[in-house]
């Protein structure tokens, strides 16, 4: 009887091994290649992008067209959507230093001076350079194109004057105040 049990157990073990081999071969023949994985979405860097919405003191500023100038330090200018033209100027790569600006038409033609009077204030040169103006995102229209000279002036109170002078096209002069990041919320766009 013990011998019969041992032989039966051996047959069951051998039979299960054969069945496992047959099922694995059968499964390999029917297996279909899995669908390709989609490419990972491009991660957003720090800072502001077209499509973002700034929430500031109960007002919403949806960002649209944008231009990026990088001469070793990033400068990004974004236009807001709305009836009144407004711009948000990002003065650093992380988007921590932002200026809410409006067009300024009273700057004399020619090279921007190192000190510019603005009412009772005197704005002093912070940064001047030349870089290739590029769209922030490939599928969005930039504010300016091509080689562009830029000048950033400011005073201690946070008033800024930003001037973009593209080789082809009119110059863009913007004046505005620094935004307090504690009072600002950014809703990332899609």
Per-residue pLDDT of the chain (190 residues; tens, 9 = 90+): 676 766 666 666 766 766 676 666 665 555 566 677 665 544 567 788 899 998 988 788 899 888 999 888 889 999 998 778 899 999 998 889 999 999 999 999 899 999 999 989 999 999 999 999 888 887 777 788 889 999 999 999 999 999 999 998 899 999 999 998 888 888 888 6
- Do residues 66 and 189 lie in contact, with contact meaning Cβ atoms separated by under 8 Å? no
Q: Is residue 161 part of a domain?
A: yes
Tokens of 180: 């307090």
What are the backbone dihedrals phi and psi of residue 146, each rounded to the nearest 5 degrees, phi first?
A: 80, -165
The Cα 80–Cα 87 span in angstroms is 6
- Is 31 part of a structural domain of the chain? no
Q: Give the domain range for residue 156.
A: 53-187
**pLDDT score for 13:** 75
Q: How many domains does the chain have?
A: 1
Q: Is residue 84 part of a domain?
A: yes
pLDDT at site 32: 61
**pLDDT at residue 182, rounded to an integer:** 86
pLDDT at 189: 80
> Residue 17 falls within a domain, yes or no?
no
Residue 30 lies in a domain: no
| Placement of tokens 């201690």 in the chain | 156
Task: Supply the pLDDT for residue 41.
Answer: 47
Residue 9 CA, chain-centre distance (Å), reads 67
Tell me whether residue 87 is in a domain: yes
Is there a domain that residue 152 lies in? yes
β-bridge partners, 122 = 117
Q: For residues 36 and 39, what is the distance between their CA atoms, to the nearest angstrom?
A: 9
**What are the backbone angles phi and psi of residue 152, rounded to the nearest 5°?**
-125, 125
Closest C-alpha among 130, 82, 77 to residue 101: 77
Query: What pTM was computed for the model?
Result: 0.72
Task: Tell me if 11 is assigned to some domain.
Answer: no
């Amino acid at each position: 009887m013990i011998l019969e049990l041992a032989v039966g157990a051996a047959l069951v073990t051998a039979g299960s091994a054969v069945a496992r081999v047959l099922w694995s071969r059968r499964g390999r023949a029917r297996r279909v290649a899995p669908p390709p994985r989609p490419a990972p979405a491009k991660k957003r860097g720090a800072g502001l992008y077209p499509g973002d919405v700034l929430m500031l003191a109960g007002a919403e500023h949806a960002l649209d067209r944008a231009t990026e100038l990088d001469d070793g330090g990033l400068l990004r200018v974004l236009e807001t959507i709305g009836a009144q033209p407004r711009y948000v100027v990002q003065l650093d790569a992380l988007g921590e230093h932002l200026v809410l600006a409006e067009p300024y038409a009273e700057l004399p033609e020619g090279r921007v001076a190192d000190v510019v009077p603005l009412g009772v204030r005197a704005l002093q040169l912070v940064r001047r350079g030349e870089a290739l103006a590029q769209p922030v995102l490939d599928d969005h229209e930039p504010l300016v194109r091509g080689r562009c000279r830029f000048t950033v002036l400011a005073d201690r109170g946070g008033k800024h004057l930003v001037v973009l002078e593209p080789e082809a096209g009119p110059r863009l002069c913007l004046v505005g105040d620094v935004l307090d990041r504690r009072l600002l919320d950014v809703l990332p766009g899609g």
